[in-house]
């Protein structure tokens, strides 16, 4: 389901990303959730939610990178 704000994001996301990255994640997830509502648009049998999380992480990784200590920083 789409997220109304960053506090609604899963702990695995919100406990690790900087605020701006959370914004990117939430917006990308919400957009993908609507985009991939129809299973015919998905390239595999993944659920709408799984695909949306993949899209959201890909969007974050365009702007942020994770260091060896697991900290995320802007590229």
Q: Is residue 1 part of a domain?
A: no
User: Domain limits at 64?
Assistant: 6-74
So what's the pLDDT on residue 61?
97
**Terminal CA-to-CA distance of the chain, rounded, Å?**
29
> Sign (positive/negative) of CA torsion 24, 63, 75, 13?
positive
Structure token pair of residue 30: 């919400």
26 lies in a domain?
yes
What's the CATH number where 11 sits? 1.10.1740.70
pLDDT computed for residue 17 by the predictor: 96
Residue 13 lies in a domain: yes
pLDDT tens across 17-73, in order?
Answer: 999 999 999 999 999 999 999 888 878 889 999 999 999 999 999 999 999 998 999
Please state the pTM of the whole predicted model. 0.90
């Amino acid at each position: 389901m789409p997220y109304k704000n960053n506090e609604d994001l899963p702990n695995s996301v919100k406990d690790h990303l900087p605020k701006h990255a959370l914004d990117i994640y939430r917006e990308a997830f919400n957009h993908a959730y609507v985009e991939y509502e129809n299973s015919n648009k998905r390239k595999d049998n993944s659920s709408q939610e799984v695909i949306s999380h993949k899209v959201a992480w890909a969007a974050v990784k365009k702007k942020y990178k994770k260091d060896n200590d697991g900290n995320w920083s802007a590229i």
